[in-house]
Homo-oligomer: A and B are copies of this chain.
Amino acid sequence: MRIAELSSRSGTSVPSIKYYLREGLLPPGTPTGRNQADYDDAHLRRLRLIRALVDVGGLSIAAARAVLAAVETPDLPGHHLLGVAHGALDRPHRRDPADPAWKDARSEVMALVRERGWRVSDDSPALDNAADAIAAMRALDQDDLVTLLDTYADAAERIAERELEVVIARRDPARMVEGVVTGTILGEALLTALRRLAEQAASARRLPA
């Protein structure tokens, strides 16, 4: 198909498609003449994945590029791919790892991980992200919010278990790889949206209007 059809079928403007081509997120089509190329269903599929990662997942172009490269690496273990997807979601944070309050928060996260028997790499950025949030709650004298830690961890455990079940049920490795990436990134968008809705419902019921 021509770029115009690729545009209409994917709901992506031609300038955006050209941008993704330039940035190397979308592989080039087969040249059919000067300034013309032919695109196929693989391009359409890739374009949908790019839009999902960037628009719904909120990934930067650089982060999306890293995820797409990992998806294409043959035989990349699912566990490693998860690290790439999580790395793409990581928000680099100006933190001071020598700050005693932050170190305490980091230890609190490590204690939780040990207690629950979670096998997690020591340099996982999510450990630091969790410590950031706890340190910020304590710095703002909102220690009671930190008591929610176990509520969040229970929910996270149940969710991760079910997510893995869905992905493993696919059997086909290529589809499992896709499931890890989209499940991680789109699942986070879905879960946080539902949490906000549940908070609105609970607050409508329990807080004074």
Q: How many residues of A contact B (CB 8 A)?
A: 96
Number of copies: 2
Query: Could you write out 23 A-B pairs with CB less than 8 Å apart?
Result: A11-B99, A51-B136, A79-B203, A113-B197, A117-B201, A118-B198, A118-B200, A119-B204, A119-B205, A126-B194, A127-B197, A130-B197, A132-B193, A133-B186, A133-B193, A137-B182, A142-B186, A151-B162, A153-B194, A156-B191, A159-B198, A160-B195, A160-B201
Q: Which 3 pairs of residues, A with B, have the shortest CB-CB distance?
A: A118-B201, A160-B198, A133-B190
In chain A, positions 172-199 with a C-beta closer than 8 Å to chain B are 176, 178-180, 182-184, 186-199
Known contacts A182-B140, A197-B118, A208-B78; is A155 also within 8 Å of B191 by CB?
yes
Residue of B124, B196, B209 near A197 (CB, 8 A) is: B124
Q: Are B56 and A133 in contact (CB under 8 A)?
A: yes
Q: Are A190 and B119 in contact (CB under 8 A)?
A: no
> Residues on A close to B: CB < 8 A?
11, 45, 48-49, 51-52, 55-56, 58, 77-79, 82-83, 86, 89, 91, 93-96, 99, 113, 116-121, 124, 126-127, 129-130, 132-134, 136-137, 139-140, 142, 144-145, 147-149, 151-164, 166, 168-170, 176, 178-180, 182-184, 186-209
